Amino acid sequence: MMKVFLLGLALLRVDSLMYPAVISPQDPTLLIGSSLTASCSVDAGSSLRAEDLYWTLNGRRLPAETYEVLNATTLSVTISSLNGSQQQSGDNLVCHSRDGGILAGSCLYIGLPPEKPTNISCWSKNMKDLTCKWAPGTEGETYLHTNYTLKYKLRWYGRDNTCQQYHTAGPYSCHIPKDLALFTPYEIWVEASNRLGVAVSEVVMLDIVDVVTTDPPSNVHVSRVGDLEDQLSVRWSAPPALKDFLFQAKYQIQYRVEDSSEWKVVDNVGNQTSCRLAGLRPGTVYFVQVRCNPFGIYGSKKAGIWSDWSNPTAASTPRNGRATGVCEPKNGEHNNTLRRELKQFFGWMRKHGSSYGCANLSIKMYDQWRVSLQKSHKTRNQVLSGDKS
């Protein structure tokens, strides 16, 4: 469409030398649903007359019943109930001579005033900058090009400032890279403007220390827990960019098996920098990611903002040592199995407990018993295999 219009403009320059013509109004802006009457007047000294002219809109010829001859050299057209512009650069209304030549053109900008932007949200990366994004109105820029301007100022003093770096976090976003004050609230708002008006968002007030996010945790390591076939250990380092600031941190872990896209999230990690994943499938590759939420910076009461996830780190659980073909216990047998395992565990404790003492009973000792139990299963399975051969 644009190529056709540009070609038409080139032809217009040639034809206008032979048949000068003028369209009025020129490049009007109109509301959706309104009507327009435009006129095309050729030079009285040319050989063209009003009955030699016709109109097109976006390349389609308009019906003759919408025309009116105003005088010997002027033909008007009336278009009712205008729809929104098909392109933000405007619809092309063109006056033609009888042989199809382009005599004059006008761009019609048909649309709606902008709606006020909504859902402004902002975050600061390590308290060094500020990025904000927003949602546009539902129809404000569907037909007409809309400009957005993010403005900010200190709440109680200072002048309005205009953000300069747009589209940094999506089409409706802006980045303020420096020169921001801490412990002083900012007022932030977005102005939307097009040919039919201006709309201003609600004002958002925030303090930089209340909207801090950080880099993903670094040095994420995932490893096996001895020979335990259903567990993996995850360790990571706290974000270094905030090491000089007074803050708390909480972490989340998500993990998935290699052949799945569904992540499982572990929420109750707290502020520790390690975690053990349990209940995993033996002999399976898992991908693990960690993210951080720095909160309470300099006493802030806000919830904090989660960082991006770390890059996936992979590790596999050990394969189990059970003989193939051995059935899992049925649902009704789980209680008996649990009682038998507890009896075995406490028997093991009586045998080895003298070196630990009751006060040292812990998950670590239980893990050691699980390892010894799995080794005994492997030995028994090897004996059974040897008897069968």
pTM of the model: 0.68
What pLDDT score does 325 carry? Answer: 32
State the CB neighbour count (10 A cutoff) for residue 175.
Answer: 18
Contact (CB, 8 A) for 317 and 229: yes
- Mark residue 374 as left, alpha or beta (left: phi above 0; alpha: psi -120 to 50; beta: remaining): alpha
- Angle among Cα 76, 79, 81 to the nearest 5 degrees reads 160
- Mark residue 387 as left, alpha or beta (left: phi above 0; alpha: psi -120 to 50; beta: remaining): alpha
What pLDDT score does 23 carry? Answer: 94
Q: At what angle do helices 334-352 and 363-388 cross, to 10 degrees?
A: 110
Along the chain (389 residues), what's the average pLDDT of each consecutive run of 10 residues? 42 46 93 94 89 94 94 94 86 93 93 92 92 83 87 88 93 92 92 92 93 92 92 91 74 94 90 92 95 84 89 92 41 53 60 46 56 58 48
What pLDDT score does 217 carry? Answer: 92
Cβ within 8 Å of residue 68, ≥6 positions away? 75, 76, 77, 78
Token pair in block for residue 227: 């020979």
Q: Can you tell me the distance from the alpha carbon of 209 to that of 129, in angstroms, rounded to the nearest whole number?
A: 11
Burial of 28 (0-12, 13-18, 19+ CB in 10 A): middle
**Strands, DSSP E only, in 225-354?**
232-237, 248-257, 264-266, 274-277, 285-295, 313-316
Which of 40, 104, 106 minimizes the C-alpha distance to 72? 40
Instruction: Compute CA 327 distance to the chain's CA centroid, rounded to the nearest angstrom.
Output: 47
Q: Compute the radius of gyration of the chain from its Cα atoms.
A: 37
Entry field: residues in the chain:
389
Alpha helices in the chain (DSSP H): 2-18, 334-352, 363-388
What is the tens place of the pLDDT at every residue in 285-319?
999 999 999 887 777 888 889 999 999 999 999 98
Q: Taking the CA atoms of 336, 344, 369 and 381 in sequence, report the sign of the dihedral they define.
A: negative
Q: What are phi and psi of 233, to 5 degrees?
A: -105, 135
What is the tens place of the pLDDT at every residue in 42-73?
988 888 999 999 999 999 999 999 999 999 99
Which of 152, 147, 134 minimizes the C-alpha distance to 199? 147
